Amino acid sequence: MSEQNRYPWRERMTILGDVEAASFLPWIERHAAKLGLAHAICVGGPGRIELEIAGPAELIDMMEMGCSLGPIDVWVDAIHRAPVAGESG
């Protein structure tokens, strides 16, 4: 995710719920690309998807809203967000 260095705002987004559907990860990839967000997905386990996302805060808000509505075959119970500390140097 080398693109992230060009964005001033980075967050870790954790999506909780019935998110194991095979369609959800590709959906997240497409939605982030449509919004122009740099992203890396890390599946945290059953009922949990974690991703690191970078871009303007307003577009990250839109990504959260999109994920909460998601495709029809997933059910999102909660989304937690936390800023990712910038790299020093």
Span 59-86, pLDDT tens digits: 999 999 999 998 999 999 999 999 987 6
The answer to whether the beta carbons of residues 54 and 10 sit under 8 Å apart is yes
Higher pLDDT, 88 or 47: 47
Handedness of CA 74, 20, 4, 82 (dihedral sign): positive
Domain presence at residue 40 = yes
Span 21-59, pLDDT tens digits: 989 999 999 999 999 999 998 877 889 999 999 999 999
Domain presence at residue 11 = no
Domain presence at residue 33 = yes
Separation in Å, CA 15 to CA 46, 66, 69, 86? 11, 12, 12, 22
Residue 59 sits in which domain range?
22-83
Cα separation, 28 vs 74, whole angstroms: 12
